[in-house]
Structure 1
């Protein structure tokens, strides 16, 4: 059972990484398109703002999925050290998610 949970945790972690990487690729492509189009400065600002919002959304989703993977991994290996590591990871990722979400809302 432990091995199955570890595999599931790894798959979920890889999925989270794929989400984050995909978000970065989408952001870079969008940025390059806007730079090539050379719109007015106002349009470029609006486009960059939209790109940042989209990237922030991908990052938030990826972080949430990574937290789920960490929780499953801790269930598979419930040592005191693993629980402390999970708690610190969740606190850091929640902190990052909070401020990232706040910044995204400010951009809207």
Structure 2
């Protein structure tokens, strides 16, 4: 059983690393796109930069939440650890929700507003 927990912990750490990597690479790509557009005298707005950054952060946060959920399998069920993990997941979920509202202008459960 200890081997099983160790393997799950490694998997959770790999998923966490992937989440961080996605945020870092996404931020770098967004900045590169913004800088190249400026160098070519193309109009690339700050708003598009924020959207690209927000999408990278949002995807990374979703993956980090998944890693936290997987990590709960191998933790000792003490109240302190459960509360800590719950708080981390709550904060990351709140950040994801606020980023999604900022990027799309609506909550995920709201219907799309059609333009006539």
TM-score (norm 2): 0.79
Q: Could you tell me how far apart the structure 2 residues matched to 1:70 and 1:22 are?
A: 21
Q: Could you tell me how far apart the structure 1 residues matched to 2:95 and 2:64 are?
A: 13
Q: Could you tell me how far apart the structure 2 residues matched to 1:75 and 1:44 are?
A: 45
Q: CA RMSD in A?
A: 1.3
Q: Can you list the C-alpha shifts for 1:29-62, whole angstroms capped at 9, x where unaligned? A: 01111221233xxx332xx322221221111110
Query: Which of 63, 66, 71 in structure 2 is aligned with 1:65?
Result: 63
- 2:44 equivalent in structure 1: 44
Shift in Å at residue 10 of structure 1?
0.5
- 1:75 equivalent in structure 2: 73
Residue 15 (str. 1) matches residue 18 (str. 2): yes
Higher helix share: 1
Shift in Å at residue 101 of structure 1?
0.7
Structure 2 residue runs without a partner (length 5+): 106-116
Task: Give 3-state SS (helix, strand or coil) of 1:75's partner.
Answer: coil
Instruction: Report which structure shows greater RCO (CA 8 Å, sep ≥6).
Output: 1
Mapping of 1:28-43 within 5 angstroms? 28-39=31-42, 43=43
Q: Is the 8 A contact 2:37 2:44 kept in 1?
A: yes
| Corresponding pairs, count | 101
Q: Could you tell me how far apart the structure 2 residues matched to 1:57 and 1:78 are?
A: 34
